[in-house]
Chain A
Amino acid sequence: MTPAASPEDQAIETKAAPENAGDDASAETSNAAIAHESSATPTANDNSTDSTGLKGWWKVFASTYVTIFLAEIGDKTQVTTLLMSAESHKPWMVFAGAGTALVCTSLLGVLLGRWLATRLKPRTLEVGAGITLLIITIGLGWDIFQGL
């Protein structure tokens, strides 16, 4: 554990230097510092025990995987690949092309998200992202409704 500065300094540092959060030792001290001003940021420290960094990674991976997988099953891309492989009788060729395209579009998406993250305030981004996900929810709800 690094020798802690005064609680106020530490709290300021937490806000100013987010990259410190990756380091276990400093994360512990900054969690302690956050606890001092927990009334100001009541939700910020729920998940920020950084000893669970790897766990958090897998949680994000798993939730993204499951949700996107379920959303894409039976969707137009899957139908496209299905039809193309049925028509050509070369499923692996179709999969090679489709797979490369899917990796590219996901990479573009995440990179665009990261770029936006450098432009927008974290909270603005979160609200925007939250609303976007709700719009996707409504879109899926519409698909379900139309399919009934």
Chain B
Amino acid sequence: MDWSLIGLSFAAVFLSELGDKSQVAAIALGGSSKYPKAVFFGTAAALLTASLIGVLIGEGTATLFPPQAVKSVAALGFLIMGLRLLLLGDGEDDTTEATD
């Protein structure tokens, strides 16, 4: 085990992710959803998959996932979730205080 490399990548990623859009989305979705655990597992799994793909296929990522197209779909996803919360209240008004 290369602990210094693990520590270095932990620090680099932790600092770059603090306050980044995924974490902000996790705050927004986790706070307003009826299923915060689903939000946590969804966010963590997505980030793990993305970094796993980065590590495994490296430079090939951009060819496999053209960034503009992929980001457009992501933007659409955030737009839909945001509008849903604003306009429909996600149908979860009365369960927001549930603890898990």
Contact = CB atoms under 8 A, between A and B. Distances in A.
Q: Answer yes or no: do A and B interact.
A: yes
Interface of A: 14-15, 18-19, 21-22, 41, 43-48, 56-58, 60-82, 84-86, 88, 90-114, 116-118, 120, 122-123, 125-134, 136-137, 139-141, 143-144, 147-148
Contacts of B62: 74
B89 A126 contact: yes
B78 A99 contact: no
B67 A74 contact: yes
Contact-residue bracket for chain B: 35 or more
Contacts of A43: 88-89, 91, 93
A44 B94 CA distance: 8
Given A128-B28, A133-B82, A102 B92 contact: no
A81 B75 CA distance: 23
B27 A112 contact: yes
B74 A70 contact: yes
Contacts, number: 358
A15 to B, nearest CB: 6
A56 B29 CA distance: 14
Interface string B75-100: 10111011111101111111111110
Contact of A147 (B16, B33, B68, B86): B68
Given A70-B70, A74-B71, A101-B14, A109 B24 contact: yes
27 contacts: A18-B95, A44-B94, A63-B77, A67-B81, A69-B46, A77-B17, A80-B9, A80-B12, A81-B51, A84-B5, A85-B58, A86-B59, A90-B5, A97-B5, A97-B8, A98-B10, A101-B11, A101-B12, A103-B44, A111-B30, A116-B31, A118-B97, A134-B79, A134-B82, A139-B21, A140-B21, A140-B72
